[in-house]
Structure 1
């Protein structure tokens, strides 16, 4: 594997026109700011309305948070799409099950987006307590938070090493991030429903995206100049 290849993240919902496109475009926009070229975010639907654009209210939400909804078309989730994906973020637990029916090897790399965000929050709290540094995230082999790397390829490789090891670290604190109600793992489906349901979707999805982007920012290798031998 090319160690400097972008980390590939897939978001999944049902029709691929309401929820997963919002997650896709907002994660991509935010991650591009943190590590340009470090991530490739895409989406698909378990029963996709193939070829359809993003729903207008979803597109408005993307614009509101600084993403770009243009050029989006829905696509059906397939085993081929799942091949080579580093992290799958689904909108509900049911979608997670459908992903694993297609590719059981993704068991340890597939989460609902809300549970994954809670896991990252737990990691941040645990690691800040251990380090004595507020809002810090743990270091991992090949990617020290705040460390300098000498060139873009090294920066991308360090970022990829961290994120490809992240699902296992996140799963290790799953027991500390369980919700009081299992429904809190899911994002409501607003398709063909009132605008208020889209607002509910936004209220559930936005905090999860913020937590993921915060983790990326706190752990991003920074550009710097490698020290020269004396």
Structure 2
């Protein structure tokens, strides 16, 4: 049975499809990654500015169409990666039981980056599903270390903004994913 990851942003045309494509391009077949929006522009494709950045990093958004997030999608997900704290709150409001498996992408990256080296040996686990299953509770335990500090865990929304805004958004996604992918034994050139 695959490990299901759902990435969530507002329109499901920029940030969450970029995160979906980058994760999909690095994780093995034991993980299924999908994305959706809290107010999706249903049926829309990824804007060229973001599509070019994703493609250059090895991701694929060709043929992508936006879809609306639903409680059923959230319930079926083992991990929900929201692109902002507002998206996280929306997901938890829809499915309160998802609170312990819903984080912002940048929060998870930040938490994973402080897990002590050697705590998780990805080579001892059979696939990326097992690695992510083991990684999530370790990351949640790291919240204590981060308590009481201010953190900017949101990824900027580039929609209808400059190329520089698309680049900044993409870089925040890639940098947030880098420690997660590293922890499961994947190397990236996207960050």
Match of 1:225 in 2: none
**2:37–2:66 CA contact under 8 A, matched in 1:** yes
**1:6–1:40 CA contact under 8 A, matched in 2:** yes
1:6 aligns with 2:7: no
1:102 aligns with 2:94: yes
Which runs of 5 or more residues in structure 2 are unaligned?
Answer: 187-191
Match of 1:53 in 2: 45
Indicate the SS of the match to 2:39. coil
Match of 1:169 in 2: 138
Match of 2:189 in 1: none
Match of 1:15 in 2: 11
Matching of residues 29-48 of structure 1 within 5 Å: 29-31=25-27, 36-48=28-40
Indicate the SS of the match to 1:217. coil
Indicate the SS of the match to 1:167. helix
Separation in structure 2 between the aligned mates of residue 98 and residue 60 of structure 1, nearest angstrom: 29
From 202, 220, 227, the equivalent of 2:170 is 202
Q: In angstroms, what is the RMSD of aligned CA positions?
A: 1.8
Which runs of 5 or more residues in structure 1 are unaligned?
Answer: 129-135, 150-154, 219-230
Q: TM-score under structure 1 normalisation?
A: 0.75
Indicate how the Cα distance of structure 1 residues 176 and 146 shifts in structure 2: closer, same or farther if over 3 A, else same.
same
Matching of residues 81-120 of structure 1 within 5 Å: 81-120=73-112
Q: Deviation digits for residues 158-187 of structure 1, max 9, x if unmatched?
A: x434422432221111132469543x2000
